[in-house]
Structure 1
């Protein structure tokens, strides 16, 4: 499955930010949103681009962050 993510990018709090689109493929319908972001980050690393920063916690279904 191919998905386009629209991600807010900002270098720091004092600089102006902007939305940037990232296309990724190889996703499947059983992946969680966090797994999809991990997959996107793996592709960004391979392309030599900055990864997406995001918050996560246990990934065990205990804390609820996976439900985002």
Structure 2
């Protein structure tokens, strides 16, 4: 499983947000990522690829995971 630093994850989320807004960016692909204990509160991950992603103990408060 791939792990990400806080900075890397912030960049990924920013690109995904731009993709959702049709403003460039790219759809997030966190397939097989280790996001255990990550702070994803209020993150918009709708339509992101989260297949087999480890979200154990992640903070998902107010996160949008629709169609992910």
TM (normalized to structure 2)? 0.34
Higher CA-based Rg: 1
Compare the two structures and name the one with the higher strand fraction: 1
Q: Which structure has the higher relative contact order (CA within 8 Å, separation 6+)? A: 2
- What TM-score do the two structures reach when normalised by structure 1? 0.34
